[in-house]
Structure 1
């Protein structure tokens, strides 16, 4: 009696045992396993996405229907929540608040990408006096809650005269004030071999040219991940603008949503939900566009060169 190894399945097939029967059994097992796996994942995914689905559906309901109907899809869809919510109760529409958010996010993301890359490159590639102490200080700031530094930062920006402007939100990011991103980029840089950098130096490239033309292209997935994190965190930031910005004309959307809640009268929940959907839309769009680079950047950080 002879036997052979099926390299596709890893099983030993006897000479008197039909291979087709074994293949059919294995295919059935794989099919049942796949069906069960994807069924569980689908159910878990729907449970996690249900609040978002309900939010979108409720934004097309009237204020009365939100509490009268438990279903997520409206019986009589209406755009009144979007129309009235866009106008707001102030002299400004939500277009102004979205523009303010854009003015905050763009310099903050660009400043974070440039400054954190420079600082991380210095820590990862150079030896200088006090490097260990400085790096330990950077890591120590990760252990401090943000609320601990709020009062000193507020007093500093007040004395400088930057209150009620975007500068308190821009400047810390422009000087690598986000220690998490510095630490994250350092880990990515440690996973990148130095061979290409050494070859560029042999060819006469200076430090800045090596960084721009050699390191940054290799580091691009990590930089995109940093920009994506900063974008989403800034979109969701409520406390920072609340502390430093006092004029309604400078409010971002995170503060503008608070304007829709009146403490003296009944809430127009359909307007609040409609503007919440519009506020979430940019983060979702940016994430789905950049998710390929984001996943690549996260996976690259775990590979040692």
Structure 2
């Protein structure tokens, strides 16, 4: 009896959680006049909302914005993985002067609210002439200091510390350098944590609407989030079905990434917590 009650409660709770998503999908297939209808799905789905929304920005289609976004995501991912893995390996395996001090400083930056850095960062990038380019998003990640960089370094440090040092000693006996140990031993064993970093990095940068709004001024460089804002602002008679259709399409990449890499994500979080 208790099990049945628990299942009924979970089904009802799941229905409440899923309802907004179902309404979202149904509303993307409605016309403006049908949005006030109590029915979740329209009697005659208006599939043209997707095609019209895809080409709703004059002179551009969402294909351009997706290419911009995926190109930026790829560059940020490569920069983040290259820098964060090296920094984490250094803190976890190497001994150097003031190591404890630098690690404490690293942890202090993790506690600093990102909002206090917006103005000085913008002033710096403006002086460097990087506004309306992708450099403000890529270069900080090359230094392991972009959005979430400190968290990624800490996550990888905790994971690498759980790898037995005996493997390092065996590799040294075979004549392997520190970089060889990093490339041949640590990186393959750190795969779950690296995939976790990739998922977080992808999701956070995909959703970084404020950063894209601050630094990108040209429509040719706009990402998907900024394109959605243009749909909302560019039409005198707002077509809500088209906007909802494109917002639905915009979350598909992030959803698919999480769905297909969920196994590694859970494994990376679980093993990092155990070994940390």
Give the CA RMSD over aligned residues.
1.6
Q: How far is 1:33 from its partner? A: 4.3
1:191 equivalent to 2:169? Answer: no
Partner of 1:19: none
Q: Which has the larger radius of gyration?
A: 1
Partner of 1:62: 31
Q: 2:117 aligns with which of 133, 149, 166?
A: 149
1:234 equivalent to 2:205? Answer: yes
1:295 equivalent to 2:266? Answer: yes
Q: How far is 1:218 from its partner? A: 1.0
Change (3 A) 1:154 1:33: same
1:205 equivalent to 2:176? Answer: yes
1:1-305 correspondence to structure 2 within 5 Å = 32-67=1-36, 69-177=37-145, 178-262=149-233, 265-304=236-275
1:94-147: per-residue Cα shift (whole Å, max 9, x none)?
110111101110010111112101001101111211212211121111111111
Query: What 5-or-longer segments of structure 1 have no aligned partner?
Result: 1-31
Work out the CA distance in 1 between the residues paired with 2:77 and 2:11: 34
TM-score, structure 2 length as denominator?
A: 0.94
Work out the CA distance in 2 between the residues paired with 1:129 and 1:196: 24
Q: How far is 1:154 from its partner? A: 1.1
For this pair of structures, how many residues does the alignment match?
273
C-alpha contact 2:158 2:275 (8 A) present in aligned 1: no
Change (3 A) 1:66 1:197: same
Work out the CA distance in 1 between the residues paired with 2:161 and 2:4: 41
**Higher RCO structure, 1 or 2 (CA under 8 Å, sep 6+):** 2
Q: How far is 1:263 from its partner? A: 7.5
Work out the CA distance in 1 between the residues paired with 2:40 and 2:109: 43
